[in-house]
């Protein structure tokens, strides 16, 4: 057994220990299990939110895109900063409303705002469908990281099974508390590893960051700029907009809002997190460094750039620390996704059709559903072949379809009806599903349109259709009054 493998397993056991210890002294009812009793301070909420940035996507997708795509990679820096700016104003309102009405999931928010349990069911199903590829992303990344960092001693399949088993155990026992404490170790590790690699590797191979970019530009002219077609300027802008609007629409991210103890927590985080996101630049530097040092990685193999370069450069014990950090980047968001998906299905789908179920029964069923969702995700993981970034973008296209109805719900005079919200979400999701499953793009569907329009991210197209349908259906006179009118009458 090499040193790298020992270190990776040591951190795996540490994360499992922290996850199990986190439940001590707490009565794990549904509120404690899902939103931490609404008692998390600035630091814990910061770490849970930062989990959205620093996932396996950080290690593999970010460096992989820098290696394989070049200039378009920088969209990753832009969208998070925009999302945090929006959160300064939006998230405190969400938290206040959730605390007032004792909400526990994203679907609760929509169902309560629009006075429609069936809308809550739709939001829950959309959320779960989007979360599955996101969880698959984490599991694929976990398998790649552990297999590469252990020098092939452990296969990706075995690594994924071990990681899922550990996460499932501590999620069932400790819920969000386990995720929060594991996130502490994860963020310290990823911060140290990313900065170290991003500085050391360019200097080691090129003598600095500027010489690295010069060498890449000389070897691949124009690679660091946006291309004229495909991932062009219009693609970049539409993708940044899509992902910024969808950032907090992920059910596990939205749900973590409820765990804060005050609204001011989000304002503090909105100030710090954009700066924290700049750490991603160091990950990009690793990918750019690898272009000339580990050439020949094509397609999804580009996701191996960081690990291949690390194995080539460092001793096994250093590779072990890098692998351990990567392992934690999969486990923390993976645990949040498992917990959120099970809560959505039980509380916002099952309980709607079985209203007599008690809170205790709902909590117990949610915990029992965790391993079921884990097994479904494992099945998809072992059958799928998409690259990591492609999986993430597909999920973003789906969850962003919730944004128009969410935004309208924050208005004091919301003209959107529950029928309009339902129809808009359904239309947007159907558009994303059709284009994704058929492998189409705006360009293939409408080849006569200008190139800038052809290059638009398909999620934006679906979002426009969503908004049009939402507004039009809301104007149709149904035999019911709108949510705001109903409240005024009452």
Could you say which DSSP state residue 59 is in? I
In a domain, 54, yes or no: yes
Look at residue 490 in the predicted model and tell me its pLDDT. 36
> How many Å apart are CA 439 and CA 422, to the nearest integer?
26
72 pLDDT exceeds 50? yes
Could you say which DSSP state residue 57 is in? I
Taking the CA of residue 480 as centre, how many other CA atoms within 13 Å lie in the half-sphere pointing to its CB?
16
Look at residue 53 in the predicted model and tell me its pLDDT. 62
287 pLDDT band, cuts 50/70/90, is very high
**Nearest of 245, 236, 235 to residue 399 by alpha carbon:** 245
DSSP 3-state of 69:
coil
Q: Which of 151-155, 227-231, 307-311 has the lowest mean pLDDT?
A: 151-155
DSSP 3-state of 88:
helix
In a domain, 414, yes or no: no
**Strand blocks (E) in 380-462:** none
With contact defined as beta carbons under 8 Å apart, do 63 and 283 qualify? yes
**Nearest of 312, 328, 324 to residue 4 by alpha carbon:** 324
362 pLDDT exceeds 80? yes
Q: Which of 372-386, 403-417, 421-435 has the lowest mean pLDDT?
A: 372-386
**Mean pLDDT (whole number) for 46-72:** 79
Look at residue 291 in the predicted model and tell me its pLDDT. 95
486 pLDDT band, cuts 50/70/90, is very low
198 pLDDT exceeds 50? yes
Structure token digits, residue 408: 């309208």
In a domain, 430, yes or no: no
Structure token digits, residue 146: 């552990």
138 pLDDT band, cuts 50/70/90, is confident
Structure token digits, residue 91: 């998230």
Q: What is the pLDDT of residues 440-471, one digit of tens each?
A: 778 888 888 899 888 888 778 889 999 999 99
Look at residue 267 in the predicted model and tell me its pLDDT. 86
> How many Å apart are CA 1 and CA 400, to the nearest integer?
45
**Nearest of 360, 134, 323 to residue 246 by alpha carbon:** 134
In a domain, 423, yes or no: no
> How many Å apart are CA 163 and CA 330, to the nearest integer?
9
With contact defined as beta carbons under 8 Å apart, do 262 and 101 qualify? no
Between the alpha carbon of residue 365 and those of residues 36, 246, 343, 469, the distances in Å are 18, 29, 9, 36
Which residues make Cβ contacts (< 8 Å) with residue 224, sequence separation at least 6? Answer: 70, 71, 213, 216, 217, 288
CATH of residue 79: 1.20.1730.10
Burial class (CB in 10 A: 0-12, 13-18, 19+), 203: middle
> How many Å apart are CA 304 and CA 294, to the nearest integer?
10
> How many Å apart are CA 303 and CA 280, to the nearest integer?
15
481 pLDDT exceeds 70? no
> How many Å apart are CA 16 and CA 169, to the nearest integer?
8
Burial class (CB in 10 A: 0-12, 13-18, 19+), 97: middle
Q: Which of 198-207, 374-383, 415-424, 478-487 has the lowest mean pLDDT?
A: 478-487
R_g of the chain, CA atoms, integer Å: 22
106 pLDDT exceeds 50? yes
Q: Which of 43-57, 94-108, 270-284 has the lowest mean pLDDT?
A: 43-57
Look at residue 389 in the predicted model and tell me its pLDDT. 53
> Which helix or strand (DSSP H or E) is residue 7 part of?
helix 3-21
Q: What is the pLDDT of residues 314-339, one digit of tens each?
A: 999 999 999 888 888 888 888 888 88
In a domain, 246, yes or no: yes
Taking the CA of residue 342 as centre, how many other CA atoms within 13 Å lie in the half-sphere pointing to its CB?
30
Domain count of the fold of the chain? 1
In a domain, 436, yes or no: no
In a domain, 130, yes or no: yes
Between the alpha carbon of residue 341 and those of residues 69, 105, 182, 196, 249, the distances in Å are 32, 10, 19, 35, 14
Residue with tokens 């590469």: 148
In a domain, 457, yes or no: no
> How many Å apart are CA 187 and CA 272, to the nearest integer?
14
**Nearest of 54, 41, 274 to residue 185 by alpha carbon:** 54
**Mean pLDDT (whole number) for 202-214:** 96
> How many Å apart are CA 425 and CA 135, to the nearest integer?
22
**Mean pLDDT (whole number) for 383-406:** 75
**Nearest of 379, 388, 373, 395 to residue 160 by alpha carbon:** 379
**How many helices (H) and strands (E) in the chain?**
26, 0
Look at residue 470 in the predicted model and tell me its pLDDT. 96
> How many Å apart are CA 166 and CA 331, to the nearest integer?
9
**Nearest of 222, 227, 232 to residue 453 by alpha carbon:** 232
> How many Å apart are CA 428 and CA 417, to the nearest integer?
17
Structural domain for 357, as ranges: 3-397
Provide the whole-model pTM: 0.84
Position with higher pLDDT, 21 vs 409: 409
Look at residue 421 in the predicted model and tell me its pLDDT. 95
Angle (deg, nearest 10), helices 3-21 and 176-206: 150
């Amino acid at each position: 057994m090499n040193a790298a493998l020992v270190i990776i397993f040591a951190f795996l056991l540490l994360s499992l220990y922290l996850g199990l210890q986190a439940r001590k002294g707490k009565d794990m009812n549904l509120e404690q299990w899902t939103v931490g009793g609404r008692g998390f301070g600035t630091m814990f909420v910061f770490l849970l939110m930062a989990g959205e940035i620093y996932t396996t996507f950080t290690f593999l997708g970010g460096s992989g895109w820098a290696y394989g795509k070049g200039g378009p990679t920088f969209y990753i820096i832009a969208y998070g900063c925009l999302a945090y700016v929006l959160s300064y104003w939006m998230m405190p309102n969400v938290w206040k409303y959730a605390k007032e009405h004792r909400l526990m999931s994203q679907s609760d928010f929509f169902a309560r705002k629009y006075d429609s349990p069936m809308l809550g069911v739709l939001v829950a199903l959309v959320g779960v469908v989007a979360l599955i590829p996101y969880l698959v992303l984490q599991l694929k990344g976990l398998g790649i990281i552990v297999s590469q960092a252990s020098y092939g001693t452990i296969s990706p399949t075995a690594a994924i099974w071990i990681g899922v088993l550990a996460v499932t155990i501590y999620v069932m026992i400790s819920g969000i508390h386990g995720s929060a404490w594991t996130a502490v170790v994860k963020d310290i590790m990823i911060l140290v590893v990313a900065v170290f690699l991003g500085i050391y590797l360019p200097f080691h191979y090129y003598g600095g960051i500027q010489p690295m970019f010069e060498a890449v530009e000389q070897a691949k002219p124009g690679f660091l700029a946006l291309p004229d077609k495909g991932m062009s300027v219009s693609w970049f802008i539409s993708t940044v907009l899509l992902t910024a609007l969808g950032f907090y629409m992920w059910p596990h991210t939205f749900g973590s809002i409820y765990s804060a103890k005050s609204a001011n927590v989000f304002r503090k985080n909105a100030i710090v997190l954009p700066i924290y996101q700049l750490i991603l630049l160091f990950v990009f530097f690793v990918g750019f460094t690898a272009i000339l040092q580990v050439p020949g990685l094509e397609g999804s193999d580009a996701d191996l750039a960081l690990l291949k370069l690390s194995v080539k450069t460092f001793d096994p014990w250093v590779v072990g620390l890098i692998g351990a950090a990567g392992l934690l980047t999969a486990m923390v968001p993976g645990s949040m996704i498992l917990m959120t998906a099970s809560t959505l299905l039980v509380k916002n789908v099952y309980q709607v059709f079985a209203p007599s179920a008690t809170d205790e029964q709902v909590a117990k069923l949610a915990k029992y559903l965790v391993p079921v969702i884990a097994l479904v995700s494992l099945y998809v993981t072992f059958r799928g072949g998409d690259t990591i970034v492609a999986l993430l973008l597909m999920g973003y296209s789906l969850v962003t379809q919730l944004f128009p109805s969410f935004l309208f719900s924050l208005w004091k005079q919301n003209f959107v009806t529950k029928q309009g919200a339902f129809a808009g979400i359904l239309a947007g999701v159907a558009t994303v599903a059709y284009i994704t499953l058929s492998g189409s793009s705006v360009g293939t569907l409408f080849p006569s349109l200008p190139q800038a329009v052809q290059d638009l991210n398909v999620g934006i197209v679906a979002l426009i259709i969503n908004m049009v349908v939402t507004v039009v259906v809301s104007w149709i006179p149904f035999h019911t009054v709108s949510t705001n009118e109903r409240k005024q009458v009452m």
